[in-house]
Amino acid sequence: MAKNPNRPLSPHLQVYRWSPQMAISIFHRATGFVLATAGMMTLLWWLSAIGGGAESYATFQQYVVSAGADGTALQIASNWFFRLVALAVTFSFFQHLASGLRHLVLDIGAGYELNTNRLWASVAFVAAIFATALVALIVASRFLGVL
Amino acid sequence: MDSRTNIGRVRGLGSAKHGGEHWLKQRLTAIGNVLLTAWFVASLLMIPSFDQAALAQWLAQPLVAVPMILMIANIYAHARLGLQVLIEDYVHDDGLKFAAMTLLNFYVIASAVFGIFVVAKLAFTGAPA
């Protein structure tokens, strides 16, 4: 039996085109993981540093926010690490929020038409990126004195 | 060969009657998180000073401590449900799945208790020097 090599195959992962609807699903999971781990651990460190008194808050600031003029190499490296964490957590927060709100709409049975679904998946991404950029600008100008 | 009666076979099979619970809790905690994190972000934007004494005074107020405790509890409840789904979907080995689920519960409960304790201590005993 001669097989036509170009015959249509049943749908398979390799032949799917990456779409916003697919991306938003996996991003929802990934950002949820980032928030539950890095996000919450940093929040708990911040809260316990506040509760621990001036000295423990100074330690938190040296490692997370700014090592200051006489910071050690470890503290300066830690600052950069936490800037990345802050960016990732901020983006994760807005991404998870936007796609979570989209999820609630889908859960009541609305928004499944192909174009509508694609549109709101894209809107969630754009909103998250925009909000992250806005927060980064506020933090950079208000706390880091960059702008 | 199964010598049980038909009704005997059917009993104990089928739905555990918990089908909707996880799904519904995930949504309810999600709505809670929208409200509580909105409060948290708005509060962060309105904090006048980020030095320790001012933050401790801020956090010790009942109107800050209570929503903060609610937010910690609600976020960890939501995270537990969500990460449980991640483990169920991506960890296929039974032993590993059991270990991951145990770790998840330890992490979530320990973190939530720690966070709530920190806030409660500050609210009940006042800011340390």
Answer whether residue B34 is part of any domain. Answer: yes
Across the interface, of A53, A93, A97, the residue whose CB is closest to B128 is A53
Q: What is the DSSP string of chain A?
A: ----TTSPPPP-GGGPPP-HHHHHHHHHHHHHHHIIIIIHHHHHHHHHHHHH-HHHHHHHIIIII---TT--HHHHHHHHHHHHHHHHHHHHHHHHHHHHHHHHHHHTT---SHHHHHHHHHHHHHHHHHHHHHHHHHHHHHTS---
Across the interface, of A53, A57, A100, the residue whose CB is closest to B30 is A100
Q: What is the DSSP letter of B11?
A: T
The CATH number for B92's domain is 1.20.1300.10
pLDDT in tens, B40-95: 999 998 888 889 999 999 999 999 999 999 999 999 999 999 999 999 999 999 99
Across the interface, of B51, B79, B121, the residue whose CB is closest to A36 is B79
* Residues of chain A found within 8 Å of residue B119, distances taken between Cβ atoms: 47, 51
What's the rounded mean pLDDT across residues A62-84?
91
Asked whether the beta carbons of residue A52 and residue B76 sit closer than 8 angstroms, the reply is no
Q: b/e string for B108-120 if b means 16 or more Cβ within 10 A? A: beebbeebbebbe
Residues 6+ away with beta carbon under 8 Å from A96: A28, A31, A32, A35
pLDDT tier, B98 (very low <50, low <70, confident <90, very high otherwise): very high
pLDDT tier, B129 (very low <50, low <70, confident <90, very high otherwise): very low
Domains of chain A: 20-142 (1.20.1300.10)
pLDDT tier, A25 (very low <50, low <70, confident <90, very high otherwise): very high
Distance (Å) from the alpha carbon of B8 to chain A's nearest alpha carbon = 37
Answer whether residue B77 is part of any domain. Answer: yes
